[in-house]
Structures are given as structure tokens and as C-alpha cells.
Amino acid sequence: MTLIQAVVAFLCTVAGAWPAFPVTVTAVASTVVATWSVLDVWITRQVWLQRNGVVSEPSSTARPPIRARRGEDRTETAPLSEAA
């Protein structure tokens, strides 16, 4: 939206049309509002994560451990000192 407003403001300025100043003011104001909104969401999320912590759970796409994939259990294998 602000890019369109900037182009319209530029073209109005080049053409010498009267809407150049109001469009420039609204473009600056909407840029400030958009930036403020993004920062508000980001800071609120950071504060929420800091207060409540992050639940450390593997996602559904996490691979199972190698032992679980092979079907082995480490207790069944002999230590290296006994294998030699």
C-alpha cells in the first residue's frame, strides 16, 4: 500500500497536482502505523515467550532416534572391553 502511495505522491509532485502533499503525508503516516504494528506484534510475542517459556517438544516431523529405527537396544550389546 505504501509503495503505491509513494508512486502516486511522486507522480503528483512531477505533474504539479494538488494531491501531492496529502498523499505524501498519508504515505508517511501509514508507514509509521505499519511499522508500529509489526513491532507491537513482535515485542508482544517476545514478552509472552519470555514469561511463559518455550515448550520443548519435538515436532511431528522429527525423526525417531537411530536405535528406535533399527529396533536395537544398547543394553543387549557387549561393551568394547568384553568384545576383544
Render pLDDT for 31-48 as a digit per residue (tens, 0 to 9): 999 999 999 999 999 988
Higher pLDDT, 43 or 50: 43
Predicted pLDDT of residue 74? 53
Examine residue 80 and state whether it is found in any structural domain, yes or no: no
Residue 32 lies in a domain: yes
Q: What's the CA gap between 45 and 26, in Å, rounded?
A: 28
40: three-class secondary structure by DSSP: helix
Q: In angstroms, rounded to a whole number, what is the distance separating the alpha carbons of residues 12 and 35?
A: 25
Of 7-11, 12-16, 41-45, 66-70, the range with the lowest mean pLDDT is 66-70
Q: Choose among 3, 5, 2: nearest CA to 13.
A: 5
Mean pLDDT of 62-72: 66
Whether 64 is covered by a domain: the verdict is no
Q: What is the DSSP letter of 64?
A: P
**Is the residue at 48 inside a domain?**
yes
pLDDT at 80 exceeding the cut of 90: no
